[in-house]
C-alpha cells in the first residue's frame, strides 16, 4: 500500500514466536507473582474502580508514588504501559541511537520504526564494554542522540561495574548525548547506578515492573530522568495511556515491596545453583549472570531448543544474534521448573553421546 512509509513495509515482525510447553522459561518472567493476600486485595480494589472513566493523563498519582519509592523528583518520573513504550518515545524524539551488539532487540527495532539512524558497537571479549568504540561513536557523530546501556546486560547477563560505566557517563556529558541506563534486572545484580544519574541531565534510568515485581501481565515501566527529558518523553506518549487497573496493581505492589526482595533472593539462589550444575554439562557452556536468566552456549541451538521442548521445557533461542551462535537463553523458574530443565539438558547430553556411539559403530 502506498499510504505507508516505505521503510515500514519491509520491517520483519518482532522476533518472538509463541510456543506452548508445560514449563515456560523463555521470556524472563518472574516465577513468583503477587502473593495470594495481595492478589485478594487487588481484586477487592478493582471492584470499586470506575472503569467507565478514563485513567489519569500520564498516571500522575502513580508517578508520585514511584517518586517517593525511588527518592526521585516527581517531575522527572515518566510512567508508561511497559518500558518499551518509553524506549520508543525517547527514540522518536532523538536524532540517532547508539547501542551495543548484542543487545535488547527493541532499541534497534524502535529506531527502524521511526527511521532514526542507528549504530551498534560489538561487545568485546567476555562480553565486556567496548568503551573506546562507544566514546568514538559519540564524539564523531554528526549530532548527539540517545545511548542505551542495559545493565545488567541482556541477553548476556553481564554486569558492567560502575568505574567503566562512569567513563561512558562522562563521554555522554561531554558530547551532549542522553545516556539511558536500562536497569530492568537491577534487583538481581550486586548494585545499581540510580544515584549516579540523580541530578544529571544527560543520564536517565529505565526500570520495569515486569521482572522482579512479577507483574509482566500488568505492563508498566518507568523512566527516572531530568525534568526536561521527562517532559519530552511524555509528549511522545499517548494521553490516558496507562490503564487504571494497571496503575492500581502497581500502586498496591509499591505498598508491599518486601515480597519483591524475597522473590528476587529466591531467583538469585536458584540462578547460582542452576549455573553451577550446568557447568558439569559435557557440551553446554553457561555464562555467569546477574539477571534472572542464563545465557547458555550449545553446539546446536536448534537441536537444544527442540530437544528441551520435546521434554516440556520452553527456552529462547539466541543464535540469530551476531556473536551468540549456538546460544539459548533460559529464564530461572521455580526449583521444580529448574530441576526439570536440568534433567532435560543432561538427558539431551546422554542422548547425543549414545547417538555418537551408534554412529561410530556403523
Q: Is the pLDDT of residue 361 over 70?
A: no
Question: Per-residue pLDDT tens for 216-239?
Answer: 999 999 999 999 999 999 999 999
Domains of the chain: 6-31+259-361 (3.90.1150.10), 48-255 (3.40.640.10)
Among 21-25, 33-37, 39-43, 355-359, the range scoring the smallest mean pLDDT is 355-359
Question: Per-residue pLDDT tens for 250-307?
Answer: 999 999 999 999 999 999 999 999 999 999 999 999 999 999 999 999 999 999 999 9
Report residue 107 CA to chain centroid gap. Answer: 11
Question: Per-residue pLDDT tens for 117-166?
Answer: 999 999 999 999 999 999 999 999 999 999 999 999 999 999 999 999 99
What does pLDDT average to over the chain?
A: 95
**pTM to 2 decimals?**
0.94
Amino acid at each position: 500500500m502506498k499510504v505507508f512509509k516505505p521503510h515500514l513495509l519491509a520491517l520483519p515482525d518482532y522476533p518472538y514466536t509463541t510456543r506452548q510447553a508445560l514449563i515456560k522459561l523463555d521470556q524472563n518472567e518472574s516465577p513468583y507473582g503477587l502473593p495470594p493476600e495481595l492478589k485478594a486485595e487487588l481484586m477487592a480494589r478493582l471492584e470499586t474502580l470506575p472503569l467507565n472513566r478514563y485513567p489519569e493523563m500520564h498516571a500522575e498519582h502513580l508517578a508520585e508514588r514511584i517518586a517517593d519509592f525511588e527518592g526521585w523528583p516527581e517531575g522527572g518520573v515518566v510512567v508508561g504501559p511497559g518500558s518499551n513504550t518509553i524506549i520508543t518515545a525517547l527514540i522518536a524524539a532523538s536524532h540517532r541511537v547508539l547501542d551495543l551488539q548484542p543487545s535488547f532487540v527493541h532499541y534497534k527495532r524502535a529506531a527502524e520504526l521511526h527511521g532514526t539512524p542507528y549504530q551498534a558497537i560489538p561487545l568485546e571479549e567476555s562480553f565486556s564494554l567496548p568503551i573506546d568504540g562507544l566514546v568514538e561513536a559519540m564524539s564523531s557523530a554528526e549530532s548527539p542522540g540517545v545511548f542505551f546501556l542495559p545493565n545488567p546486560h541482556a541477553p548476556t547477563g553481564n554486569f558492567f561495574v560502575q568505574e567503566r560505566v562512569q567513563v561512558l557517563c562522562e563521554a555522554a556529558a561531554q558530547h551532549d548525548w542522553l545516556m539511558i541506563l536500562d536497569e530492568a534486572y537491577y534487583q538481581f545484580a550486586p548494585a545499581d547506578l540510580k544515584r549516579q544519574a540523580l541530578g544529571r541531565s544527560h543520564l536517565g534510568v529505565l526500570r520495569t515492573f515486569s521482572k522482579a515485581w512479577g507483574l509482566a501481565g500488568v505492563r508498566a515501566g518507568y523512566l527516572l530522568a531530568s525534568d526536561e527529558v521527562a517532559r519530552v518523553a511524555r509528549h511522545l506518549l499517548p494521553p490516558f495511556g496507562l490503564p487504571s487497573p494497571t496503575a492500581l496493581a502497581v500502586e498496591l505492589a509499591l505498598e508491599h515491596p518486601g515480597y519483591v526482595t524475597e522473590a528476587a533472593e529466591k531467583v538469585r539462589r536458584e540462578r547460582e545453583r542452576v549455573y553451577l550444575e550446568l557447568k558439569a554439562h559435557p557440551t553446554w557452556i553457561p555464562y555467569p549472570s546477574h539477571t534472572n536468566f542464563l545465557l547458555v552456549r550449545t553446539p546446536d541451538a536448534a537441536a537444544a531448543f527442540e530437544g528441551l521442548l520435546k521434554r516440556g521445557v520452553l527456552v529462547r533461542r539466541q543464535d540469530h544474534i551476531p556473536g551468540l551462535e549456538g546460544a539459548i537463553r533460559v529464564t530461572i523458574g521455580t526449583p521444580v521448573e529448574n530441576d526439570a530443565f536440568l534433567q532435560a539438558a543432561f538427558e539431551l547430553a546422554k542422548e547425543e553421546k549414545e547417538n555418537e556411539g551408534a554412529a561410530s559403530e556403523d
